[in-house]
Amino acid sequence: MDTYAGGPERFRTQIGSLIRTARRGQGMESAQLAKRAGVPMSVLEHIEQGAIALDPDVISRVSAALEAEASAPSSPTPVHLRVHGGVTLSGSIDVKTSKNAGVSLLCASLLTSGTTTLRRVARIDEVNRILEVLASMGVQYRWLGDNGDLEITPPAKLDLSNINAEAARRTRSIIMFLGPLLHDHPQFDLPFAGGCNLGTRSVEPHLSVLRPFGLEVETSHGTYHASVSDGTVAPRKIVLTERGDTVTENAIMAAARCPGETTLINASPNYMVQDLCFFLEKLGVSIEGIGTTTLIVHGQPEIDADVDYALSEDPIEAMSLITAGIVTESEISVCRVPIEFLEIELALLEEMGLDYRRSEEYPAENGRTRLADITLYPSTLVARADKIHPMPFPGLNIDNLPFFALIAACAEGSTLVHDWVYENRAIYLAELNRLGADVSLMDPHRVLVEGPTRWSGAEIVCPPALRPAVVLLLAMLRAKGTSVLRHVNVIHRGYEQLAERLGKLGAKIEVFRGD
Ligand SMILES: CC(=O)N[C@H]1[C@@H](OP(=O)(O)OP(=O)(O)OC[C@H]2O[C@@H](n3ccc(=O)[nH]c3=O)[C@H](O)[C@@H]2O)O[C@H](CO)[C@@H](O)[C@@H]1O
Ligand SMILES: C=C(OP(=O)(O)O)C(=O)O
């Protein structure tokens, strides 16, 4: 008897689509999955299209091959890209939702005992790692269809005795569990935060904003040992000494369930913080001052509502795609750009001579974030007279700075790019020299870029940092000839199917795997 609503045909289509999504999510070509599963490629293709009856043995081999890949977090098969550069792009591409709001809202889902549905979550490693950690605490999740919709259901009581330390240590975002967990857990341990190698990133600002909520943390053997006592009584005023994004998010998540009013001074008004606030408002937490540096959070001691929230688009992915168009001197449209978070970047590019058109604004699915489509035209760029440096929002986004080094290398003249934030990130930009650029390291924070570059192809291993790795990929799109970018797994931390999506714009990129 067919017990599946919709009948076997729909069942086939859904299974096929699940397999295709999982395969693509792992950056695997059909031929590779077919080989690993020991299934003829034509059979796999038919399964993915829902075009043949399902053989349980074949399905179990395909699913084992996918699982083997997905459950190898510490040593995923290295993925590499072969780029045939010098090709002009065309067409339009949509910006996906952000890594940074994605991870924050996954952590925030712990604030409600109801079910959280997040719409259009990017299928990226950073999200997967947090999901692995949540699953190890007893949280259930399932992807709904192909669009990144994710349903998260907490258990009656979280089990913090068996946290997946390996997944946790590979992401810095683990630190955002402190704020939600302090509500119902007088004592708990969390593994140390990890992430990209960008130099030392202190967690002290997090501990400092969480102390008024009663949190004390001792560290030993790679673990934060947290204990929670009564915090200060409302109304509380907390001054952030650094306007950090995840610090602000931790403080908001702590305040969300503490009775009374918490005022945060020098809060980050950045995009991921806004997404978190919009999400919490849907859970009944009222927050004044969203988008400003003073937030007043009115806590709700118990939250047991179901919530359904559509994340907003990623300004850093938007900048990455805009950079792809600029460096390849292409006419492309980058659609669904969260425009409030790219005003400075676009103004700078305009100063450098970029010709582009901006559409009328329209709302994102969350009904709050403003989007616009940006059409880029081939432009002759000149270096900016003053240095280019980031600032906390509303300045030039810290994560967008690396893209300006590449754009400067395409412009006529010298540009000083100053990354005052990260100790290591600017250093990786000197890798552009392998492709013909003239990037001099003045000190660990400042690079001098002389343009325009006569680009040429090269083989490079990705640096252990997300944005510099993407910058190299984009430079390879520009460089005539064939380049190879090795170990691009770091890019999967923050971008979904980037090579494939650039391919749809005409970029010639082959994905291959192996040691
Ligand atoms: C998951 C997530 O959301 N990650 C983002 C978040 O990380 P996150 O919020 O974790 O960033 P950090 O708190 O590590 O801050 C980054 C660096 O900036 C320094 N700092 C920050 C603010 C300030 O007012 N003064 C100051 O000196 C910090 O000391 C640190 O060295 O913000 C970073 C800075 O925008 C982004 O690169 C990350 O993509
Ligand atoms: C530094 C970054 O993020 P994270 O905080 O996840 O390391 C980034 O997105 O470039």
Domain end marker among 263, 286, 310: 310
466 lines ligand 2 (CB under 6 A): yes
Judge whether 489 lies within some domain.
yes
Which residue's CA is the closest to the ligand 2 atom numbered 10? Answer: 399
Atom 3 of ligand 1: nearest residue by CA position: 100
Query: CA-to-CA distance for 214 and 235, rounded, in angstroms?
Result: 15
End-to-end Cα, the chain, rounded Å: 47
| Type of residue at 108 | A
pLDDT > 70? residue 7:
no
| Beta-bridge partner residues of 226 | 188, 217
Give the mutation target among 96, 99, 107, 196 for probing the ligand 2 site: most ligand atoms within 8 A of CB.
Answer: 196
What residues have CB less than 8 Å from 405, skipping those under 6 apart? 415, 417, 426, 429, 432, 439, 447, 449, 471
DSSP H helical ranges for 440-497: 466-478, 489-492
Smallest Cα–Cα separation from 429: which of 392, 391, 376, 467?
A: 467
Q: Provide the domain count of the chain.
A: 3
Which tokens sit at 198?
A: 């960008």
Region for residue 332 given its phi and psi (left: phi exceeds 0; alpha: psi -120 to 50; beta: otherwise): beta
* CATH code, domain carrying 330: 3.65.10.10
In a domain, 65, yes or no: yes
What are the strands of the beta sheet with 140-144, ordered from one edge?
140-144, 149-153, 116-119, 307-310
Q: Is the peptide bond before 154 cis (omega within 30 degrees of 0)?
A: no
Residues 224 and 257 both lie in one domain = yes
Q: Which of 292, 310, 328 finishes a domain?
A: 310
400 Cβ below 6 A of ligand 1: no
Q: Are residues 299 and 371 in the same domain?
A: no
Q: How many CB atoms lie within 10 A of CB 56?
A: 7
Distances (CA, A) of 223 to 62, 139, 178, 502: 37, 21, 13, 40
Average model confidence (pLDDT) across the chain: 92
Probe ligand 2: pick from 128, 130, 198, 200, max atoms within 8 Å of CB? 198
Pair 50, 18: CB distance under 8 Å: no
pLDDT greater at residue 10 or residue 109: 109
Residue 52 shares a structural domain with residue 163: no
> Are residues 261 and 235 part of one domain?
yes
Task: Judge whether 379 and 407 are in contact, CB under 8 Å.
Answer: no
Residue 410 corresponds to which tokens in the numbers above? 């395409």
Give the tokens for residue 423.
């100790």
Q: 107 and 86 share a domain?
A: no
The response to whether residue 468 sits with its C-beta less than 6 Å from ligand 2 reads: no
* Residue 467 and residue 428 in one domain: yes
**Is residue 210 within 8 Å of 250, Cβ to Cβ?**
yes
The rounded distance, in Å, linking the Cα atoms of 317 and 498 is: 9
Please report the DSSP string for 306-319 in residue order: -EEEEPPB-HHHHH
Q: Are 469 and 407 found together in one domain?
A: yes
Strands (DSSP E) contained in 69-220 are: 79-85, 90-94, 116-119, 140-144, 149-153, 187-191, 215-220
Q: Identify the pLDDT of residue 3.
A: 31
Q: Which residue, of 70, 87, 112, is where some domain finishes?
A: 70
Please state at what angle helix 343-351 crosses helix 401-410, rounded to 10 degrees: 10
177 band by pLDDT with thresholds 50, 70 and 90:
very high
CA distance 236 to 265: 11
pLDDT value of residue 417 = 98
- Residues 86, 134 within the same domain: no
For 380-421, what is each residue's pLDDT tens digit? 999 999 999 999 999 999 999 999 999 999 999 999 999 999
Ligand 2 contact via 467 beta carbon (within 6 Å): yes
Band the pLDDT of 26: cuts 50, 70, 90.
low
* pLDDT greater than 60 at residue 2: no
Whether 2 maps to a domain, the answer reads no
Question: Same structural domain for residues 86 and 160?
Answer: no
Residues 70 and 22: beta-carbon distance below 8 Å: yes
Stated as kind and residue range, the H or E segment containing 15 is helix 7-25
Q: Based on the fold, state whether residues 199 and 188 are members of the same structural domain.
A: yes
CA distance 470 to 477: 11
Model pLDDT, residue 16 = 78
pLDDT in tens, 225-275: 999 999 899 999 999 999 999 999 999 999 999 999 999 999 999 999 999
Identify whether 447 is part of a domain. yes
Tell me what percent of the residues of the chain surpass a pLDDT of 70. Answer: 93
Measure the CA angle with vertex 469, ends 478 and 150; round to 5°.
Answer: 110
Q: Which of 400, 499, 489 is CA-nearest to residue 77?
A: 489
Q: Does residue 457 fall inside a structural domain?
A: yes
Site to probe by mutation for ligand 1, drawn from 99, 207, 246, 314 as the one with most ligand atoms within 8 Å of Cβ, is 246
Tell me which residue of 272, 244, 250, 316 sits closest to 466, measured CA to CA: 316
- pLDDT tier for residue 73 given thresholds of 50, 70 and 90: very low
Which range of residues forms the domain containing residue 28? Answer: 7-70
- ipTM higher than the 0.95 cut: yes
Say yes or no: 13 and 139 in one domain: no
240 lies in a domain? yes
343 found inside a domain: yes
323: closest CA among 411, 393, 406?
406
Classify each residue of 114-143 as buried b or exposed e, where b means 16 or more C-beta atoms within 10 Å of its C-beta: eebbbbbbbbbbbbbbbbbbbebbebebeb
Residue 1 maps to a domain? no
Torsion of CA 95, 93, 118, 283, to 10 degrees: 50
- In a shared domain, residues 418 and 483: yes
